[in-house]
Structure 1
Amino acid sequence: MGVAAGFGVLALGAVFLLGPGITVSHAADCGNVAAPGLDWSGCSKTNIMLQTSDLQGANLVGAHFDSTDLSDADLTSANLEKATLVRAWLKNAKADGANFAKIEAYRSDFSNASANNVSFANAELQRAEFAGAQLNNADFQKAELGRADFDKALLTGANFSFANLSRATLNGAVMEGPTSFGGAFMYLTRIEGLDLSKAGGLQQAQINLACGDNTTILPSWLKAPSAWPCPPDEKD
């Protein structure tokens, strides 16, 4: 009893030594089932089926969802910063206001997702699929988007500043208001038929690298290069 009491006093003393206002971080709820607001930060959830899961407002920072099916899931306002979503499925997901900054999502599928007002800043999104997605006011600053597909995506107000858009497919996207391309790398970016009349930050050097045609609408201060149209892109 004396030894036990001694340990109790030591434990109590340790709590007080932490000082006022200092809290000990709790472990993530990795064993819990998907639910709004849960904490899966740093958890491994790879190669599983999470379709239609409700993860509204969840803390998913640094979580691993590689090859996981999140189709039709609700990720509204969830925080997925630095999460990995390589080859993950997010078709038809609801993700308005979510944070996807610094994610690794090579070959991920966001087709037909609702992802307005989201952040993909500094994200790795090579060959990601965004066809038909709602991405109004999305932030793609400094994102890696090589060969990403934005066919029929809604991109009004999106920010591609300093993003790598090499060989990305933007033709077929809808931009009904200002969209920023300041400093974006647009080597062989497909912009055939795209209305860029309201785009901001575009420079002639970017247009000279891109692939448009006589249906591409450019801002008044830019002109179509004589090299247009480009040959068909070789898919590999």
Structure 2
Amino acid sequence: MTRFFAVMIMALAGIAPAYAQNASEIARVQSGQSCVGCNLFQADLAYRDLPGINLAGARLRQANLSLATMNGADFNGSNMSVSNLFGARFTRANFRNTNLQDAVLVGAYLGSADLTGAVLSRANLSGAELDTARGLTQAQLNTACGDENTSLPAGLSIAHC
């Protein structure tokens, strides 16, 4: 009976989709090339200067973008859940419909960034600069947290973490 279960597990594993990171796609992005829809799971993009890069629809789940500069980047529809965006700069970046659930945006700068439809559930926005962000709603902020140093557009507020 044990052998039967082992065979079944191996058979099921063979039909499961592969979600491991794609090293060649990560290397491409690290060198500054756009990569629409790429699998960048757990990519290390920390400290990178990647202006205008297009990562729309990419899987950036659990990626490290801490202290990166990605001004004008396009993350439209990307999965950036559980990612580290600590202290990164995203001036005029496109986060439309991006999943930022459980992401750390502590101290991030999102000046004029578009957050229309972005999922911010349980995201930590402590110290983030969002005062000129576009498309940000109270409903989005009600699912996130921040602190007294989080700067928001006029009329919006956020709960403390």
- The interval holding the TM-score normalised by the smaller chain is 0.7 to 0.9
Amino acid at match of 2:133: A
Unaligned runs of 5+ in 1: 1-34, 39-52, 203-236
How many angstroms does 1:200 deviate by?
Answer: 1.7
Q: How many Å separate the matches in 2 of 1:146 and 1:97?
A: 23
One-letter code of the match for 1:70? Answer: C
- Which consecutive aligned stretches of 4+ in structure 1 deviate over 3 angstroms post-superposition? 35-38, 172-177, 188-191
Percent identity of paired positions between Structure 1 and Structure 2: 23
1:36 paired to 2:26: no
Contact 1:168/1:190 (8 A) holds in 2: no
Q: Output the CA distance in 2 between the equivalents of 1:107 and 1:97.
A: 21
**Correspondence for 1:95:** 60
The number of residue pairs the alignment matches comes to 139
Q: Where do 5+ consecutive residues of structure 2 fail to align?
A: 1-20
1:171 aligns with 2:137: yes
Match of 2:81 among 116, 121, 126: 116
Counterpart of 2:22 in 1: which secondary structure? Answer: coil
Q: Which protein has greater RCO, CA pairs closer than 8 Å, 6+ apart?
A: 2
State whether residues 108 and 129 of structure 2, in contact with CA within 8 Å, keep that contact through their aligned partners in structure 1: yes
The superposition leaves residues 133-188 of structure 1 with CA deviations (integer Å, 9 ceiling, x where unpaired) of 111011110011111111011110011101111211213864574x11211122x3
Q: 1:84 aligns with which of 18, 25, 49?
A: 49
SS of equivalent to 1:200: coil
Counterpart of 2:160 in structure 1 is 201
Taking a change above 3 Å as real, the CA distance of residues 173 and 129 of structure 1, as seen in their structure-2 partners, is: farther
In the alignment, is the contact (CA less than 8 A) between 1:106 and 1:127 conserved in 2?
yes
Distance (Å, rounded) in 2 between the aligned partners of 1:123 and 1:154? 18
Q: Which residue does 2:95 correspond to in 1? A: 130
Distance 1:189 1:126 in 2: 19
Higher helix fraction (1 or 2): 2
Q: CA deviation at 1:64?
A: 4.1
Residue aligned with 1:180, SS: coil
Q: Which has the larger radius of gyration?
A: 1
CA distance in 1: counterparts of 2:22 and 2:123, whole angstroms: 27
TM-align CA RMSD:
2.5
Aligned to 1:222: none
Q: Distance in 1 between matches of 2:44 and 2:57?
A: 18
TM-score, normalised via structure 2 length: 0.76
1:201 maps to a residue whose letter is H
Mapped partners of 1:112, 1:190: distance in 2: 27
Q: Is the 8 A contact 1:115 1:134 kept in 2?
A: yes
Normalising by structure 1, what TM-score?
Answer: 0.53
